[in-house]
Structure 1
Amino acid sequence: MHQLTIGQLSERAGVATSAIRFYESRGLVHSVRTTGNQRRFEQPTLRRLAFIRAAQRVGLTLEEVADALATLPEHRTPTKADWRRLSRDWRPRLDEQIERLERLRDKLDGCIGCGCLSLRTCALNNPHDEVADRGPGAVFLEPSAGGRGVSGRRRTP
């Protein structure tokens, strides 16, 4: 199998060499060393890097990526069935993220549920800042709140 230098891998994958070294330190990709202690990467590493970048673009953490990659075969290119299994396992996580983004999109022009009381509608949706005990940030956008205000009724900005 053809091996790539870190520079070749970087160029082909569109990933900085520093990122490749970081991913290697985290166990996401692996290299072999030449007698001169230079890194060499197998061609399937290109697919792993593409996978890492795609996963990061949709908001998955490096820990989630590492867990997934740990289930893939180390010394062969993953098959379509391998990738199908991963996508099936991540579907609920991605569906939740899509729902969160849709809630953000739908509420962004009015109130994003942050509990700030800065808009006139906040006095209706969150009088006396009752959601403060749910924690910081846009609590109405979290899945557990289901986009509902403190009264339990569907919030409309």
Structure 2
Amino acid sequence: MRLGDISVAYVELMARAVSHSGMQPGEILSQYQLDPVRLASPDARISIPRFMRLGHSFIEAFDLPWLGLEMGRHSSAPALGLPGLLAQSATDIRVAAKALTDYELLASFNSRGRSSFSLEQGQGISCFYSISPYNSYNLFVVDSVLSGW
């Protein structure tokens, strides 16, 4: 079963986080056939399993178990694509959270589910959908999305 895919902008964000940690991501990116031309393409995507393996490779090679948190720290509206730009221009946090989840498909597709935003008793609730069970291949994804939001 195909899990889905995400924009290579998230790979670029990952590489930036690795670089800011003092490491050189180039060799591992090359192993995954992710060259600067592919990373610069606004329409390029990478499968979710491949993205998780790439992150795991960086974590293992550079002893960076906090990679996802670093990705969140270096995240920005443009790094999140159109959903991020919509959130940045939102009038309030509710509209921003709704934009991130409503337009999630523009930057990522998960065949098992998607994130959501709802109001319950006047309180906003953002839910990031992630593949479980959590393990060393996908924990960094949860860290990066929640800290990036």
Q: Which has the higher strand share?
A: 2
Relative contact order (alpha carbons < 8 A, sep ≥ 6): 1 or 2 greater? Answer: 2
TM-score bracket for the superposition, by shorter chain length: under 0.3
Q: TM-score, normalised by structure 1?
A: 0.25
Q: TM-score, normalised by structure 2?
A: 0.26
